[in-house]
Structure formats: structure tokens, C-alpha cells
A = this chain, B = another copy of it.
């Protein structure tokens, strides 16, 4: 049956590109109110596609931009008792600026050399359409016109501006969104030694973000008249923040590493076979030397070790030249990327306590927690990972690689917490797709691969 579906996708490829281009011509920039009508148009367009496929579809208002949810009926599904898949993606896009750097206009999709150029082509409209085209192929290209397994589709419109309204929406709609596994296509393939390889991302780091300020004198003081007599907030803040790490660049907060899942020998071996080129990685970002917690490779530190970064520092005189001032306060943005099994609530409490334990000589902390996201890791022994492997093999003829990701996709942790389900992260982007940049593109061969992969993935899940 899957072969039938694949051949439909092949014959229908030009139409699929035309449909994707239609979606890409909608300027659904979520962060800028000037584009609000286009955002609504984006939601409506996606809803119309899903309605056309016969799914129960609704555009749901939120406190921000609308979310589209569509569900299959039992009579549309070959095996209604198979696990239900919740597909998540977003129809909103980043602003297209700077416009003058685009070779063709960002909302006039253009194919050149087998690449489709447009804002959102890879992030995330192209990847959303991979899934919708796979649904279409099963409905219109298979013998019985049925989907292999039950499907729910959730396409939101605020991913590029923080998804603030999504977790409450999920929480308020648990029944509507109930499923057995989530699938997200918003990541990239793995750049192996001989080109891009299909990848399953099975773990993401979590996030904890603080703004910490030390407050002192009631007004800015002349550092000549007062220097040396009182605690300077900028001096003490740098001193405290500077003590966050020991000589091995390990975070000194008590208990910080206690819950971190150790890397298995199997993972270590698998990763060393991935062909990660550290020199290329550093050259691309203009960095001379790798640096971080000792005892781990760069790829291990990136994927499975917690990191702590100072994301910003501010206070006192920050302009050109010199001003001799002792500032009333100074601040830093400090964030933690949490490795699998670390608990953000526990780490947040431990960090705050550590800060308050540092000598500040009468200066006072103002600590703001700007949010947290749990790390996630799906067991590589999970049947859904096995199904994903099979689906990818059938679609591509290649073995997928299992990778992790250092960054955070908060909704994945929310799906775990609110819906109790794991997520399969299977993306078809490339690292050179220029996400968030001018001349964003999606390779048409990756679009085709994505459509095929989602089609065979649904069949593989139905067979579980």
C-alpha cells in the first residue's frame, strides 16, 4: 500500500510545490502587529487544506494568534485502534528583514537549482506541508483512501514569538489533543561525511533563564570621591558571576550535576561514528578553541551535558570613552541548558540559594526567573523510535542516525507534562537553509523526502 502512496506523491510533486508556494506567499509574520491579517490568512489556509482532506478542523482563538487543530474520524482510518499521532508545526514565520539582502522577494516563492526560496520555506511551512501532503497521499492515493492510523494535527501561529499562549491552550484542550505520540518536524538532518542523513532527534536540553541584579547606593557615585570605601555593585556582581565555574569549567552550584543522566557507552560509540568535525564546527562560528566542562568531547558537551552561559551583562557606564561612576546597580542574564533528567525547579532553587550565600557586603539581590523548560529524552528503545527508524528506512533507503539537540523546544516538554506523551523529532532541514536569515530555502529533494517519510512513518506506527 505504501508503494501506491509513494507513487501518488511522485506524480503529484509539482502540485505539492504549488500548494506550498501558495502558503509561502502569505506573510504570516507573528511578531509584528502590522502582519496580523496575513497571520489570520495563514491559519485559515492551513485549516482549509485539512478540511479538504476530510478532517474535523477548527481555527481556535487564543490570547494571541489562532491555533489550527484537525482530527481524523475512525471511518477515515484503516486501523482505528492503532496509536494516535499528534503532529505539531507552526504556520507563522520570522520577519523577512533585511529585505535588501534577498535575491528574490521573501513572500514570492521562487525555485532555483532545485531549491525553493521564501521566508518560512524550511522553518516551518515546508516541513508542515510534508506532513499534510503525506495525509493527502493516503487519502487520495491509496486503494482505500484511508489513513493508516488516527491523526491529530496542531499548527500554531506563535512559535516565532515565544509560543506564550500554547501551553495554556494545550492544557485547556487535553482531550481534543490526546494522542499516543507526538511528531514534530522543525529540525534538520545530520550533516554526515557524505552529505545530509535523515536523523531522529531523541533528546533536547531544557532551559532555565535568570536576570540577576545587585543593588547598592541610592544614586550613582563619583568613583574618585567614594572609590574604595563601599561595595561597588558592578565589582561584586562580576566577582559572584565569575565564581560560578571551577577550574574545570564545572558549575559550582551544589547538586548541579546530581541528576544528570550519564552518557551510555552505546551513545558514545554511536556519536563518535557520526563524523562530527570539530574544526569545521568552530571555523564556521569564528572560534579559535573549543572550551567547556573537561572530560567530554565537544559534541557530548553540546548534546548531553548541562551548560551555563552569561547571556548578557549590564550596569554603570556602557558608552564610549570614560565616566568615573560607581553604579547603583549592575545585572547579568544567566541561563542554564539542562541535560536530560535535571529538574529546572530544583536547579532554580539551588542557584538562587547559591547566589544568596555569596558575600555581597550589604548589596541586595533582585532575582527574576524568566522561565524554564524541562529537558526531554525519549528512550532509544521506545517502539515509536523503532517505528520511526523503519519509516525512514522505507522512505529513504537509508538508516537514520539518532542524535540529540543542545537547544530547547519547550512544547516537547509540555506534551510530556500535559499530555503524557513522547515526541519524535524528525526534520528535513539542512544547516545551510538560512533559517531566520535572508534567502531562506528548502531543498525540493528534502521536501519530497519529508512527504515520503511521513507517509511511511504513519504506516510504521499503524503496525505497532
Taking beta carbons and an 8 Å cutoff, which residues of A are in contact with B? 205, 207, 209, 211, 216-219, 221-232, 234-235, 237-245, 281-282, 285-293, 298, 301-302, 305-318, 321-327, 330, 332-333, 335, 337, 361-363, 370-371, 405-408
Contact = CB atoms under 8 A, between A and B. Distances in A.
A205 B223 CA distance: 11
Given A228-B305, A230-B282, A333 B323 contact: yes
A281 B216 CA distance: 14
Give the number of times this chain occurs in the complex, counting copies.
2
Contacts of A408: 224
B330 A234 contact: no
A218 to B, nearest CB: 3
Contacts of A333: 316-317, 322-323
B317 A312 contact: yes
Contact of A301 (B229, B282, B314, B324): B229
Contacts of A363: 288
B312 A229 contact: no
Given A223-B309, A234-B312, A313-B314, A229 B322 contact: no
A316 B312 contact: yes
12 contacts: A219-B285, A223-B309, A223-B311, A226-B302, A227-B309, A229-B290, A230-B292, A232-B310, A310-B330, A311-B325, A313-B318, A314-B314
B234 A310 contact: yes
A171 B321 CA distance: 24
A294 to B, nearest CB: 12
Contact of A217 (B211, B244, B286): B286
A291 B229 CA distance: 5
A324 B228 contact: no
A322 B327 CA distance: 23
B241 A285 contact: no
A337 to B, nearest CB: 5
A53 to B, nearest CB: 34
Nearest to A245: B239
Contacts of A237: 238, 313
A362 B289 contact: yes
Contacts of A242: 238-243
A311 B305 CA distance: 35
A47 to B, nearest CB: 31
A316 B326 contact: no
A317 to B, nearest CB: 4
B209 A309 contact: no
Contacts of A222: 407
3 closest A-B pairs by CB:
A242-B242, A218-B286, A224-B407
Contact of A337 (B221, B228, B231, B323): B228
Contacts of A308: 227-228, 235
B311 A326 contact: yes
A412 B294 CA distance: 53
A445 B406 CA distance: 71
A118 to B, nearest CB: 22
A433 B229 CA distance: 23
Contacts of A235: 241, 244-245, 308-310
A188 B435 CA distance: 62
A313 B310 contact: no
Given A229-B301, A245-B235, A406-B227, A317 B311 contact: yes
Contact of A291 (B238, B301, B312, B361): B361
A384 to B, nearest CB: 24
A309 B234 CA distance: 8
Contacts of A406: 224-229
Contact of A227 (B230, B240, B337): B337
Given A287-B216, A316-B333, A307 B234 contact: no
Given A223-B307, A313-B316, A322 B371 contact: yes
Given A301-B229, A362-B291, A234 B337 contact: no
Contacts of A228: 292-293, 301-302, 305-309, 337, 406
Contact of A287 (B217, B239, B306, B332): B217
A244 to B, nearest CB: 8
A226 B407 CA distance: 8
B324 A209 contact: yes
